[in-house]
């Protein structure tokens, strides 16, 4: 039986983001492969439909991480993890991420480093993102 979270982003009252002390309240989407309906209902970050052999990856979520994207390092929390086979049979391990400002992103497992919430780099990245979100 699959278990799905009520909302991946933790609710609307605070925009869905997190800081270094409250990230663990984020709801994870685990035990099933997400559908478009799950994304629309904000239970999941992503749904992939042009892949084969889709399966949930069993991880202890939510989990802090550092995502290495084109613009550099970014703090995030993984709330969804799935394995898919691409068009040519290549495996893809995909994560749904929540960002400190409440945004979401999709990343490949190869592009992240798992950390714990005491990691000084992760904490600095979160605090920088949270402080910067108020500058808008």
pLDDT band at 134 (very low <50, low <70, confident <90, very high): low
Q: 15-55, pLDDT tens digit by residue?
A: 679 999 999 999 999 999 999 999 999 999 999 988 889 99
pLDDT of residue 35: 96
Residue 85, strand partner residues: 52, 91
Class of residue 75 by CB neighbours under 10 A (exposed 0-12, middle 13-18, buried 19+): buried
Q: 78-132, pLDDT tens digit by residue?
A: 999 999 998 889 999 999 999 999 999 999 999 999 999 999 999 999 999 988 7
pLDDT of residue 135: 57
- The structure tokens listed for 110 are 């190869």
**Which is higher by pLDDT, 9 or 75?**
75
CB 16 within 8 A of CB 98: yes
pLDDT of residue 71: 85
Write down the mean pLDDT value for the chain: 87
pLDDT of residue 37: 97
- Residue 8: is its pLDDT beyond 50? yes
């Amino acid at each position: 039986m699959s278990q799905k979270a009520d909302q991946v982003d933790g609710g609307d009252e605070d925009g869905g983001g997190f800081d270094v002390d409250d990230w663990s309240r984020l709801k994870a989407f685990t035990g099933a492969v997400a559908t478009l309906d799950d994304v629309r209902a904000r239970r999941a970050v992503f749904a992939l439909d042009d892949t084969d052999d889709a399966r949930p990856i069993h991880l202890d979520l939510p989990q802090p991480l550092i995502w290495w994207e084109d613009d550099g390092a970014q703090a995030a929390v993984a709330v969804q993890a799935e394995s898919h086979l691409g068009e040519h049979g290549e495996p893809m391990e995909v994560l749904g991420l929540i960002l400190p400002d409440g945004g979401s992103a999709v990343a490949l497992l190869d592009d992240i480093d798992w950390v714990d919430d005491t990691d000084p780099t992760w904490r600095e990245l979160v605090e920088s993102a949270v402080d910067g979100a108020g500058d808008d």
